[in-house]
């Protein structure tokens, strides 16, 4: 290592290193910094839960150096997705800030298939909504006092088993999803309960809501599989009480398709009481 003590050798080594940095490493670094790539940038304020459309974003070309790995570079990846966080103009959109489904607030309203509807009923008093204990997924029965002004308190057969899909306070926040207002320190009591029902059930609930008289009782709380059994049983009752026109037509067609026996045809053709007719002559 004695040669390192020679100033001439050290000078040559420093010159070689500087040339290596200047003509090899620096160009590579400059090239990586100047390399361009396209990314998706926000042009309008986007709030949590908003569905992203073309008016909210733009495709821009920026330097590719030091960009986050999960930055989104194609519009198709963004359009139709939902924001998981608030985004401001100029922000790049990251994969972690997007969701295929809406935010937890009102997410159940995006799962309606068209066969059933969501309808809310008011909780007139603390006891009427199970003292604020109802949560999404509960199976309840709707009790109707003085049903149809007949003086009887009944559980209509159409509303024996109904699924709760939302419980909302007067502030508009769902009390069973932790969506309390930031200004409220205490849990808000439910003001309405949203139920998943058929059109026939919705009409009855609307009548009860207009009359201001209904009470909810908890039937089941547990696994989705067992809850589905209650709803399946209720759906069968609805189909029995309200057969669809197509089903009625099918039954009538089946009955009319039964061939008439020759004996029956002859009986219809003959007088009902030939003895009386003979006596009348």
Confidence of residue 104 (pLDDT cuts 50, 70, 90): low
CB–CB of 119/206 below 8 Å?
Answer: yes
What's the gap between Cα 119 and its chain centre?
Answer: 14
Count the Cβ atoms, other than its own, within 10 Å of residue 215.
Answer: 20
How far is the C-alpha of 187 from the C-alpha of 179, rounded, in Å?
A: 10
Which pLDDT score, from 0 to 100, does residue 272 have? Answer: 43
- Predicted TM-score (pTM) of this structure: 0.55
* Residue 181 DSSP label: -
Nearest alpha-carbon partner for 163 in 179, 141, 146, 180: 141
Count the Cβ atoms, other than its own, within 10 Å of residue 189.
Answer: 14
CB–CB of 193/210 below 8 Å?
Answer: no
In this structure, whether the domain defined by 34-99 belongs to CATH 3.90.1210.10 is answered with yes
Confidence of residue 5 (pLDDT cuts 50, 70, 90): low
Residue 123 has pLDDT above 50, yes or no: yes
Averaged pLDDT score across all residues of the chain: 78
Strands 215-220 and 190-197: unpaired
pLDDT in tens, 128-181: 788 888 998 999 999 999 888 888 999 999 999 999 998 988 887 777 654 444
Phi, psi (5° rounding) for residue 236? -65, -40
How far is the C-alpha of 26 from the C-alpha of 130, rounded, in Å?
A: 72
Residue 201 has pLDDT above 90, yes or no: yes
* Residue 151 DSSP label: S
Which pLDDT score, from 0 to 100, does residue 69 have? Answer: 82
* CA dist 149 → 93, 144, 156, 217 (Å): 58, 10, 13, 21
Which pLDDT score, from 0 to 100, does residue 112 have? Answer: 78
Residue 40 has pLDDT above 50, yes or no: yes
Confidence of residue 182 (pLDDT cuts 50, 70, 90): very low
How far is the C-alpha of 129 from the C-alpha of 136, rounded, in Å?
A: 13
CB–CB of 179/103 below 8 Å?
Answer: no
Q: Where does CATH 3.90.1210.10 sit in the chain?
A: 34-99
CB–CB of 221/138 below 8 Å?
Answer: yes
């Amino acid at each position: 290592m004695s040669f390192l003590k020679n100033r001439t050798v050290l000078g040559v080594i420093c010159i070689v290193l500087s040339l290596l940095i200047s003509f090899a490493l620096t160009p590579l670094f400059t090239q990586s910094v100047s390399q361009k790539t396209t990314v998706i940038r926000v042009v309008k304020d986007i709030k949590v839960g908003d569905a992203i459309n073309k008016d909210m974003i733009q495709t821009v070309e920026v330097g590719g150096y030091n960009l986050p790995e999960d930055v989104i570079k194609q519009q198709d990846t963004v359009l139709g997705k939902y924001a998981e966080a608030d985004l401001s103009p100029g922000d790049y959109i990251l994969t972690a800030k997007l969701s295929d489904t809406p935010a937890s607030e009102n997410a159940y309203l995006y799962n309606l298939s068209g066969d059933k509807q969501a309808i809310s009923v008011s909780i007139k008093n603390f006891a009427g909504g199970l003292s604020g204990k109802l949560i999404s997924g509960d199976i309840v029965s709707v009790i109707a006092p003085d049903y149809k002004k007949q003086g009887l308190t009944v559980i209509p057969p159409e509303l024996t088993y109904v699924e709760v899909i939302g419980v909302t306070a007067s502030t508009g926040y769902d009390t069973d999803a932790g969506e309390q207002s930031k200004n409220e320190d205490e849990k808000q009591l439910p003001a309405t309960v949203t139920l998943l029902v058929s059109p026939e059930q919705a009409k009855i609930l609307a009548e009860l809501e207009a009359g201001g008289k209904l009470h909810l009782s908890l039937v089941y709380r547990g696994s989705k599989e067992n809850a589905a059994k209650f709803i399946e049983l209720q759906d069968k009752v609805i189909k029995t009480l309200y057969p669809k026109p197509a089903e009625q037509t099918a039954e009538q067609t089946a009955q009319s398709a039964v061939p008439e026996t020759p004996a029956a045809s002859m009986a219809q053709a003959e007088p009902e009481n030939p003895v009386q007719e003979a006596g009348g002559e």
